[in-house]
Amino acid sequence: MRFRILAALALVCIAAPPAMAQSYPNKPIHIIVGQAAGGGMDTLARLVGQRLSQSLGQPVIVENKAGAAGIIATSFVAKAPADGYTLLLSPTGNLVFNPILYTKLPYSPQRDFAPISMIATFPLVLVVNPAQPFQNVKELVAYMKAHPDKSNYSGSGPAFQFASELFKIKTGTQAEFIQYKGSNEAITAILGGDVLLAMADTGPAAALLAGGKLRALAVTSHGRLSSMPNVPTMTEIGYSDLEIQYWGGLLAPAGTPPAIVKKLEGEVQRIVRLPEMQERMNSINVTPAGSTSEEFAKIIASDIARWSAVAKASNIKTMD
């Protein structure tokens, strides 16, 4: 009798994940965002969340848990039940730069999460004040080598610091990092002549570029941007190692049933291919992605390796 009971329990356990996936979802889904409302990750979460709600038949609620460089939101999801009802919309920083910078991070990007799908990628644009004499990257590099004491760059966080440090490594230049609270302040510093250059978000820089108040020398995307057709890529001008694509992606806590992960993966892939979604994403200078879970996991691992090497070469300091 005891053997039969144990066997029956085993069969129930084996059958539970598929049954759970078939009934999923049967209550609201929460997408946690570690950035403030109105920002890029928040916008992506709401765009995808709205369409997920329509296709899955349950409310999808976006919750902003901003602060501590995304650590609050990311650790919250890492500790959440692995049932597919609490998800993370994360930028590169939460899962790549934080593990490099913080020695006592309360989560592991590769052990504590099940990647679902990369939603979108976005490049950076190298910008300078148009009053400066250089018209291209070659002239900027020559100036920086001739005037290392006058060379500095602005940025509002690790994504911009790491990209700029990689630029220094690949061009053999020196420049001091001047950190600002936000992207707008970092760009304002260029307008005021306080810093020489910035590797900036395309969004905050777009209006100033269009108005001639900033000059774009190159973009880090694979191909030219439709919004900046006259700006060359780093690869075009001979710096293929400076192709940089940051991303925003959806993840679940580790241990989430694979069938639920696959269901969400398929939905995200379908959603980002919708013409209206592609048009909306292109309007905010991000490129729709829609990767598989496996592809996303490989990109996270590759990015951690790439930027760890940059941190070591540039002696970027870690924090507790």
| Distance (Å, whole) CA 57 – CA 91 | 27
Given this model, what pLDDT does residue 14 score? 55
pLDDT at 5 over 50: no
In this predicted structure, what is the pLDDT of residue 202? 87
Is 94 in contact with 62 (CB distance < 8 Å)?
no
Whether residues 132 and 206 share a domain: the answer is yes
Last residue of a domain, one of 242, 263, 292: 242
Q: Among 247, 26, 236, 5, which Cα is nearest to 117's? A: 247
Q: Which domain holds residue 189?
A: 124-242
% of the chain exceeding 70 in pLDDT: 93
Question: What percentage of residues in the chain have a pLDDT greater than 90?
Answer: 83
Mean pLDDT of 1-19: 51
Main-chain phi, psi angles of 181, to 5 degrees: -70, -35
Q: Looking at residues 106-122, what average pLDDT do you find?
A: 97
Report yes or no on 96 lying in a domain. Answer: yes
∠ Cα 70 318 40 (to 5°): 25
Q: How far is CA 270 from CA 55, 77, 211, 250, in A?
A: 10, 24, 36, 14
Q: Is residue 305 part of a domain?
A: yes
Residues 112 and 181 in one domain: no
298 and 252, same domain (yes or no):
yes
SS (H, E, C) the chain: CHHHHHHHHHHHHHHHHHHHHHHCCCCCEEEEECCCCCCHHHHHHHHHHHHHHHHHCCCEEEEECCCHHHHHHHHHHHCCCCCCCEEEEEEHHHHHHHHHHECCCCCCCCCCEEEEEEEEEECEEEEECCCCCCCCHHHHHHHHHHCHHHCEEEECCHHHHHHHHHHHHHHCCCCEEEECCCHHHHHHHHHCCCCCEEEEEHHHHHHHHHCCCCEEEEECCCCCCCCCCCCCECCCCCCHHHCCCEEEEEEEECCCCHHHHHHHHHHHHHHHCCHHHHHHHHHCCCEECCCCHHHHHHHHHHHHHHHHHHHHHHCCCCEC
Residue 7: inside a domain:
no
pLDDT digits (tens, 9 = 90+) for 118-157: 999 999 999 999 999 999 999 999 999 999 999 999 999 8
User: Both 223 and 166 in a single domain?
Assistant: yes
Same domain, 237 and 173: yes
In a domain, 255, yes or no: yes
pTM of the shown model: 0.90
The confidence band for 255, taking pLDDT boundaries of 50, 70 and 90, is very high
- Total structural domains within the chain: 2
Within 13 Å, how many C-alpha atoms sit on residue 169's CB side?
18
- The span from the CA of 310 to the CA of 316, in Å, is 8
Q: Is the pLDDT of residue 272 over 90?
A: yes
In a domain, 319, yes or no: no
Task: Find the mean pLDDT for residues 206-234.
Answer: 93
What is the Cα 271 distance to its own chain's centre?
Answer: 18
- pLDDT(11) > 70: no
Give the C-alpha separation, 282 to 49, whole Å: 18
Closest by Cα among 14, 18, 28 to 57:
28
CATH of the domain at 238: 3.40.190.10
Distance of CA 143 to the CA centre of its chain: 31
At residue 297's C-alpha, the angle toward residues 277 and 274, to 5°, is: 15
Contact 90, 118 (CB under 8 A): no
Calculate mean pLDDT across residues 175-182: 93
Residue 2 lies in a domain: no
